[in-house]
Structure 1
Amino acid sequence: GIGYAYEYAGEVFDRMNMEERMTVCNMSIEGGARCGYCNPDQTTVDYLRGRPFAPQGDAFDKEAARWLSLASGPNAKFDDEVVYNAADIEPTVTWGINPGQSVGITEAIPEVEAFPAEERNGVVEALEFMELKAGQSMQGQKIDVAFIGSCTNGRISDLREAAALARGRKVAPGVKALVVPGSQQILAQAEAEGLDKIFTEAGFEWRAAGCSMCLAMNPDKLQGREICASSSNRNFKGRQGSPTGRTLLMSPAMVTAAAINGVVSDCRELMS
Structure 2
Amino acid sequence: MTQQFAGRTAIITGAARGQGRAMALALALEGADVAICDVGTPDLATVDYRLATTADLEGVADEIRALGVRVVARTCDIRDRAQIDAFVGAAVGELGRIDILVNNAGILSGNRPVHEMPDEQFVTMIEVNLIGLWRVTRAVVPHLIAAGGGRIVNVASAAGLVGAPGFGHYCAAKHGVVGLTKTMAAELAPHRITVNAICPGLVDTPMVTHSAGQLAGQLGITEDEAYDAFLTVHHIKERITPEQSAAAVLYFAGEAARVVTGACLAVDAGWTAT
In the superposition, the TM-score normalised over structure 1's length comes to: 0.30
